[in-house]
Amino acid sequence: MLLVLVAGFVFAEAYAISGFRGLTTGGVMPMLAAGVMLLSSLLVLADTLRKPRNGSGIQALIAYLLPLRVVLFAGLVAVYAALIPGLGFLAASGAFLFVAIWGLWRRGPVLAAALSALSILAIYLLFRVVFQVVLPLGSLWQMGKLWS
């Protein structure tokens, strides 16, 4: 229910930007995103209300909100964030994608490595080449420059 309320508030704020005067006004994209968020939250609420309750109490709530897979993935995200300053964005992102794809999809390390490499290549081409964004290199690679 809280998600529906937040999504409704976000939609109202997006509408306040410029209303809906045309498809090229400044509030169209925020309203579209907020509308998708509101619709999704309503669907989740309806699905949640239809399901029977499995238990009550704090243990049932913790088991529902924090399944092992979610906790492990949150830890993986924390490790990824900690690795970016040392390894740099591309290397840390590649390692993160590899472990995430391999662990969550469970299709084997070769396919996970191939998808990770393709994703990193696409990210590099889009951000570094097309948009010319300087991606963080990482302190390990910068130390190598000092030694050579």
pLDDT value of residue 72: 94
What pTM, to 2 d.p., does this model score?
A: 0.61
- Does the pLDDT of residue 148 top 70, yes or no? no
Structure tokens at 30: 């925020």
pLDDT value of residue 131: 86
Task: Indicate the average pLDDT of the chain.
Answer: 88
pLDDT tens for each residue of 76-107:
999 999 999 999 999 999 999 999 999 989 88
Q: CB–CB of 102/76 below 8 Å?
A: no
Helix (H, G, I), strand (E, B) or coil at 90: helix
pLDDT value of residue 94: 97
For the segment 109-138, the average pLDDT, to the nearest whole number, is 93
- Does the pLDDT of residue 114 top 60, yes or no? yes
pLDDT value of residue 143: 61
Q: CB–CB of 138/87 below 8 Å?
A: yes
**Cα(87)–Cα(139) distance, rounded to whole angstroms?**
7
pLDDT value of residue 145: 55
Q: CB–CB of 27/18 below 8 Å?
A: yes
- Does the pLDDT of residue 118 top 90, yes or no? yes
pLDDT value of residue 88: 94
pLDDT tens for each residue of 26-53:
778 888 999 999 999 999 999 888 887 7
- Structure-model confidence comparison of residues 59 and 111, the more confident one: 111
What number of CA atoms fall less than 13 Å from residue 42's CA on the CB side? 8
Count of other CB atoms within 10 angstroms of residue 110: 9
Q: Which of 29, 32, 40 has its CA nearest to residue 6?
A: 40
